């Protein structure tokens, strides 16, 4: 009667089965964090660009340059690929940023997540009283 079975190598098999799943989860979590960071940088750049363009003494072009500057500072070379538009809508300045953030998934290099954000800020300026 044999009570103990030979289970040598069982841990190795379990590791071989679990490790790929854990690595995929880790890569996915890091990729999610990077895309969230890119989204946050784009939102901040849009707000700052609209805020500057709406300030008295600055132009829409100044706002677009500021938004582009922040995109490049926060996203590096990827920030240069975004399209930055600054326009007026009545008394407001609207800044829109659109582009794609590339995924770094191993062996897949051409996928990207589209990011499009916009910010609206009312124009500042001195308005004479009655």
Residue pair 56/125 in contact (Cβ under 8 Å)? The answer is yes
Q: What percent of the chain has pLDDT over 70?
A: 87
CA dist., res. 43 & res. 80, Å (int): 15
pTM score, whole prediction: 0.81
Average pLDDT of 68-85? 94
* Residue 35 predicted with pLDDT over 60: yes
pLDDT at 93: 96
CA dist., res. 110 & res. 69, Å (int): 25
Residue pair 93/55 in contact (Cβ under 8 Å)? The answer is no
* Residue 1 predicted with pLDDT over 60: no
In the chain, the largest separation of any two C-alpha atoms, in whole Å, equals 106
* Residue 31 predicted with pLDDT over 80: yes
* Average pLDDT of every residue of the chain: 89
Q: Which residue has the higher pLDDT, 57 or 38?
A: 38
Q: DSSP letters of 26-78? A: HHHHHHHHHHHHHHHHHHHHHHHHHHHHHSTT--HHHHHHHHHHHHHHHHGGG
The residues spanned by each domain of the chain are 10-122
Average pLDDT of 97-106? 88
pLDDT at 128: 59
How far apart, in Å, do the first and last CA atoms of the chain sit? 106
pLDDT at 87: 96
Confidence category of residue 103, pLDDT binned at 50, 70, 90: confident
Residue pair 123/54 in contact (Cβ under 8 Å)? The answer is yes
CA dist., res. 34 & res. 29, Å (int): 9
């Amino acid at each position: 009667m044999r009570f103990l079975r030979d289970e040598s190598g069982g841990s190795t098999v379990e590791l071989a089965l679990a490790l790929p799943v854990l690595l995929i989860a880790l890569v996915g979590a890091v990729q999610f964090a990077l895309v969230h960071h890119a989204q946050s940088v784009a939102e901040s750049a849009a707000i700052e660009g609209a805020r500057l363009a709406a300030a008295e003494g600055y132009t829409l072009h100044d706002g677009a340059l500021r938004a582009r500057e922040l995109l490049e500072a926060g996203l590096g070379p990827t920030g240069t690929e975004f399209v930055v538009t600054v326009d007026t809508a009545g008394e407001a300045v609207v800044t829109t940023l659109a582009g794609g953030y590339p995924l770094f998934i191993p062996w897949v290099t051409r996928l990207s997540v589209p990011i499009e954000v916009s910010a609206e800020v009312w124009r500042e300026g001195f308005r004479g009283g009655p």
